[in-house]
Amino acid sequence: KYELRAILLSASLMGIFLFAILYNVYARKIDVPTCIPYNASFQKAEIKEVDDLHYEVYIIAKMWTFDPGEIIIPPGSTVDFYLTSADVVHGFSIERKGVNLMAVPGAVNKVTVHFPDYGTYRIVCHEYCGIGHHNMMGKILVT
């Protein structure tokens, strides 16, 4: 019957969309931001070299800076960003990288970003956080 065909068609479309999402996540390793429970060991900002071209950067956002404010890495690096806030909710956007995270007090958000090319990438706060909001930024130097 006609209706049955319509149902089957939409069901298969749903299946295709679902497959596309899962394909993106697993096969192409697109980074899905994760929220991990607050870990007491993350009390200070730091840049850790895990091994060759793999870094962990622990970032604390606070009114109105990111700590560390400047991150220097070589091209080809993969960086795990761990992000938290010392006061209010801040945004964390890496320009030209499609990264949009929230820095939330009491929580740690993580995102992994690959930097194959030389360049400077600005980090900007995209969540209104008070009078210094528009000046709240940092940068990543791939050099």
Q: Which is nearer to ligand CUA, 136 or 142 (CB)?
A: 136
127 binds ligand CUA (CB under 6 A): yes
Query: How many amino acids of this chain bind ligand CUA (CB under 6 A)?
Result: 9
Query: Which residues, 15 to 74, sit near ligand CUA by CB under 6 A?
Result: 64
Q: Per-residue b/e over 116-136, b at no fewer than 16 CB within 10 Å?
A: eeeeebebbbebebeeebeeb
CA distance 84 to 101: 10
Work out which of 79, 81, 82, 90 binds ligand CUA, going by CB under 6 A: 90
Q: Which is nearer to ligand CUA, 57 or 125 (CB)?
A: 125
Work out which of 101, 125, 140, 142 binds ligand CUA, going by CB under 6 A: 125
Q: Which two tokens stand for residue 21?
A: 């999402």
The contact set with ligand CUA (CB under 6 A) reads 64, 90-91, 125, 127-129, 133, 136
